[in-house]
Structures are given as C-alpha cells and as structure tokens.
C-alpha cells in the first residue's frame, strides 16, 4: 500500500504526515490492520527498538473532584462506586511506589484528583517525591495534579519531579462537549508551564468518547505541535455512574489503527498505551506493543488492570524486553534537547491514565466513527469501516479495591 510506504519513509525522517494521510490510516479496513501495524512497527523499532517502558500509577487522592469531565469516575456528581480517600501520607505513597518499582517500573506517576493543586498540595507532593527518591534514587517521578498556577511547576522540579502529565484528551472544537468547568486552553497552558520549568511534558488523548476521526487527528496534531516527550493513548473505560457509561464503540482493530496513526504523527515520541487496553484491545494487546513503546504496569487510578505478572509475560512472549533503569528512553536527538531533565534520562513518561481523572482529567479512553477521509499518499480508501456491533464488555471493567488507599497489596 503506497500510503503505508509513504508514512514509514516520513516516520524514519521525523517528517509529519499530512492530515489526509493520518485520516487515511484510521479509514483502513480490518483486512488491512496487520499491514498498518507492520508499517507503524518499523517506525517504532527504528526509534525505540524492542524496549517496553513500564510505568506505575499511585493515586494520591481519590474521588471528590469539583470538575465535570464526562469520562471521569471521580468527577463532580459521579455515581461510580470508586474508592474515595484524601491525601496519602508520603510513607504510604512511597510504599505503593516501591511495589511498582519492584515489578519492573522505571517511572512512578503520582496522581491526585482535583482542579489543580494548592501551594499546600505542592508541599505534600514534594515531600512524597523526596520520600520516593530516598528509597529508589534512580526512579523517575511524574506528577499529575491538574491545572498548574505560576511557579508550581518550578517547585515540583526543585523537589525532584522529572515530568508532568496533563492530557489534552480530545480536539479543541469538541472539548466543551466533554468538560465545562475548564477549557482546552487551560490544559495547553499547563503543558507549556511544565515545559518552561524544565519538566518533561507528557500529554495525550482519550479515544472512544464519541469523537470523529477528524477529532482524533486534530488532537494528535495538536500534541505534535506542543512537543511533549510522551503521549499516552487512553481508550475510554465506560464506568457505570458516569455520563459516558454507555459509550462502547471500540474494537481491537480500531484501537490498533488509532495507535498506529499516533505513531506516524509522533514517530520519535514515547507513545504509551494507557487506560483501557485490557477492555478494548483484549487478546490483541501484544500487537499493540509493535506500535507503542510504553505501558502501565498493574492497576489504574480507580479501575483494575491486568495482573502485573501477566503484563511481563505478554511482553516477553511478544518478543519484546522490559526497558532497564539505566537505559535512556528517548532517541538521542530528543534527549539532548531536554538537557539534564527527565528527558535526558528517561523520556518523560508522565502518567496520563484516564479512568480516574487524576488532577483535572487524567483518564482512559475509547473510540469514534471511522470516516474515510481522502488518501493523499496513494492508499486505496476502503469503505467506511464503522465499528462492528458488539455487546459491551462490562465484565472487563472492575473498580479498584486494592493498593493505594486500602489495606490490600497492590497489583504490580
């Protein structure tokens, strides 16, 4: 397929595809999905080899968020029966982080629900970062606390934070349909604040909220322009008790096309499969490793993930290897630009898991209509694939009842 050959060539040169080419990837048929994965896999291997970076989430404060993000189980008015607790103490958070590190995670993502941190909250998180670094000096720490005020990113950096996550989630044109208590511009501003403070910026999207192909392409191109080191791709977990509980549109093939499109648009960036992979990719998760070079280990913020040992077995069986603590995630040209920050060491993984809405909207994600779009690049446009009718897999959605905020051992 001429389209895929063109995209591989561009990806190896770090050249952006056109919008039409990105739309064409999403419009390919299920019959062509293995060809799409193989092509995007060439770009992934060129920049990241067969390494898979493991990240681990610690939910510092769960529930009771004043924001109204429709996808989030911690939102204002949520009826989801999730864990609700106030701030973990530094030693509690450090113990939770240690479980992930012992399971192979090289980055710990500290997430807290809410619009954004107060100065006192920044002090709390700073103490937690220091406690984690005292136990695991080499571990990378990413904070995800919502919208940042002036000076807060610098304080987190001084405390030892390496990265900051704040997702764009969806396109600017449809953002108001998902959230009304803050704006798309607010999110862009926070990502820029992280950049300016020398933190490695992490920002991604949520697929599956009813968006169009054009929306998906818009948000990924916006992310390319923001130039984060890491782009988490979430697939909506439709949690009971949230406005999007009935949004079940994704198929495994659709998820693979979304990941491939993201890789082509952001060829040399750490692309992470975040929340929802177990629910929507299911048995095709190993194929997704040919597209993304990073995943979360174990559970998410408010929902359960795949067993940690199963993640490790999946990586090995698929012919990949867990990225070691001493290995640099980012390609050399990106790492050099980041100077001494986390980008030079790791590549800025950030948190970016959706299902619990960490700090003003860190999430998970799901699907959208698969329009055809024009094929600049010579690919043959298949009929609009439209998601297959499938019964919602509510059996795959489980509320987290272990780990942080409980007396039970975490899944790591």
Mind telling me the catalytic residues? Answer: 65, 69, 72, 109, 142, 202, 272
Burial of 399 (0-12, 13-18, 19+ CB in 10 A): middle
Residue partners of 5: CB distance under 8 A and separation at least 6: 39
Residue partners of 161: CB distance under 8 A and separation at least 6: 125, 129, 141, 142, 143, 199
CA distance 152 to 74: 23
The CA-atom distances, in angstroms, between 93 and each of 79, 105, 363, 404 are 26, 15, 20, 7
Copy the structure tokens of residue 20: 């039409």
Q: Classify residue 404 by its DSSP letter.
A: T
Residue partners of 82: CB distance under 8 A and separation at least 6: 62, 63, 73, 74, 239, 302, 356, 399, 400
CA distance 240 to 248: 12
DSSP 372-394: ----TTSPPPPPP--PPP----G
The CA-to-CA distance between both ends of the chain, in Å, stands at: 41
CA distance 354 to 260: 20
CA distance 160 to 136: 12
Q: Classify residue 61 by its DSSP letter.
A: E
């Amino acid at each position: 397929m001429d389209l895929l050959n063109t995209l591989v060539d561009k990806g190896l040169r770090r050249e952006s595809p056109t919008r039409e080419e990105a739309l064409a990837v999403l419009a390919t048929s299920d019959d062509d999905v293995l060809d799409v994965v193989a092509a995007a896999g060439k770009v992934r291997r060129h920049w990241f080899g067969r390494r898979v970076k493991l990240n681990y989430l610690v939910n510092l404060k769960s529930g009771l968020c004043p924001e109204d993000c429709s996808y989030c189980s911690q939102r204002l008015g949520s009826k989801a029966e999730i864990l609700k607790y106030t701030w973990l103490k530094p030693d509690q958070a450090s113990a939770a982080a240690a479980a992930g590190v012992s399971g192979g995670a090289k980055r710990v993502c500290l997430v807290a629900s809410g619009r954004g941190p107060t100065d006192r909250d920044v002090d709390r998180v700073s103490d937690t970062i220091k406690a984690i670094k005292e136990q695991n000096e080499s571990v990378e720490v990413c904070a995800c606390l919502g919208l940042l005020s002036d000076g807060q990113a610098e304080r987190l950096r001084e405390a030892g934070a390496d990265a900051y996550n704040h997702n764009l989630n969806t396109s600017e044109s449809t953002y108001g349909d998902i959230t009304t208590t803050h704006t798309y511009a607010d999110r862009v501003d926070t990502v820029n604040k992280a950049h300016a403070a020398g933190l490695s910026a992490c920002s991604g999207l949520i697929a599956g909220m009813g968006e169009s192909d054009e929306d998906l392409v818009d948000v990924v191109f916006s992310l390319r322009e923001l130039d984060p080191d890491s782009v988490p791709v979430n697939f909506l977990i439709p949690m009971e008790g949230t406005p999007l509980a009935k949004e079940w549109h994704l198929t495994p093939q659709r998820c693979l096309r979304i990941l491939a499109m993201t890789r082509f648009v952001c060829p040399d960036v750490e692309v992470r499969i975040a929340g929802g992979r177990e629910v929507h990719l299911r048995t095709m998760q190993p194929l997704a490793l040919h597209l993304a070079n990073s995943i979360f280990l174990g559970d998410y913020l408010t929902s359960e993930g795949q067993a940690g040992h199963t993640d490790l077995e999946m990586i090995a069986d698929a012919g990949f290897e867990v990225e070691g603590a001493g290995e640099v995630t980012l390609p050399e040209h990106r790492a050099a630009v980041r100077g001494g920050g986390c980008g030079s060491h790791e590549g800025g993984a950030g948190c970016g898991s959706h299902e619990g809405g960490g700090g003003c909207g860190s999430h998970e994600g799901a699907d959208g209509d698969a329009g055809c779009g024009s094929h600049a690049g010579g690919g043959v446009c298949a009929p609009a694939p439209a998601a297959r009718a499938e019964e919602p897999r509510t059996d795959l959605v489980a509320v987290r009842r272990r780990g942080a905020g409980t007396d039970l051992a975490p899944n790591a």
